[in-house]
Amino acid sequence: MSVASNSKSAKILILNQPGLPTKELGNLVDHCFNVGELQKKLEKYNSFLRTIACTSAQLTELAPILRRTQIDALYILNIGDEMKCWDEPWWNRTTVVYTERQLMRHLCTKSMLCFYNEGLEHKKQGDFGLANISFLDSIRALDYSAKFI
C-alpha cells in the first residue's frame, strides 16, 4: 500500500489471528491479541467505521462487547464452533466464512471500499492528490483480493 495513505475514517480490527497476511492492507488493519485490547481499540477508533474479524471460538467472549458497540461489519471465520447469536442486533451486519482465504477476500474487498469512499471524500473537498492516492490504494486492495480467489 501507499506510504501516504492512512485511513482516517475506517479501521479493520482483527482478533487474535496474527497469521493473516494483512500487511498489504496497510494502516487500515490493526491486529488485536485479545478481547481487552480489541475493546480499547474500539474505544480509540470510536469515530471510525469499525469492522471486526474473529473466529467462531471467540464469539462468546466478544458478544457482550458487540451488544454495546456500533460496528460497520463483523466477519466470523467459522472453525466448527456452534454460534448461538442469531438473534443479536449486530447479526445483520455479520458475514460467516469458512476458510482464511474467504476471510482475506472479504477483508480486501472491505479495504477497497474504505479506501474508495475515502477517495470520494477527498475529491468532494477538492483535494485531488489525496483522492488519487486513496483511489490507487483501493485498486491495490482489490488486486490483492484476487490472490484469495
Task: Parse the chain into domains and list their residue ranges.
Answer: 10-106
The rounded distance, in Å, linking the Cα atoms of 74 and 71 is 7
The rounded distance, in Å, linking the Cα atoms of 111 and 78 is 21
Confidence of residue 1 (pLDDT cuts 50, 70, 90): very low
Query: Which residues have a Cβ under 8 Å from the Cβ of 103 and sit 6 or more positions away?
Result: 20, 53, 75, 77, 97
Confidence of residue 8 (pLDDT cuts 50, 70, 90): low
The rounded distance, in Å, linking the Cα atoms of 7 and 84 is 34
pLDDT for 4 beyond 90: no
Confidence of residue 136 (pLDDT cuts 50, 70, 90): very high
pLDDT for 6 beyond 80: no
Query: What's the mean pLDDT in 16-38?
Result: 94
Query: Which residues have a Cβ under 8 Å from the Cβ of 86 and sit 6 or more positions away?
Result: none
Across 11-39, b (16+ Cβ under 10 Å) vs e yields bbbbbbbeebebebbbebbbbbeebeebb
User: Quick one: what percent of the chain has pLDDT higher than 70?
Assistant: 95
CATH architecture type of domain 10-106 = 3-Layer(aba) Sandwich (3.40)
Specify the pLDDT at position 62: 93
Torsion from C-alpha of 8, 58, 97, 109, nearest 10 degrees: 10
Specify the pLDDT at position 56: 92
Digit-coded pLDDT (tens) for 68-127: 999 999 999 998 888 877 788 889 999 999 999 999 999 999 999 999 999 999 999 999
Is 0.85 surpassed by the pTM of this model? yes
User: Quick one: what percent of the chain has pLDDT higher than 90?
Assistant: 81
In sequence order, the β-bridge partners of residue 13 are: 30, 52
- The better pLDDT of the pair 10, 86 is held by 10
The rounded distance, in Å, linking the Cα atoms of 18 and 16 is 6
- Quick check: 11 and 45 in contact, CB under 8 A? yes
Name the average pLDDT for the chain. Answer: 91
- Quick check: 104 and 53 in contact, CB under 8 A? no
In sequence order, the β-bridge partners of residue 73 are: 51
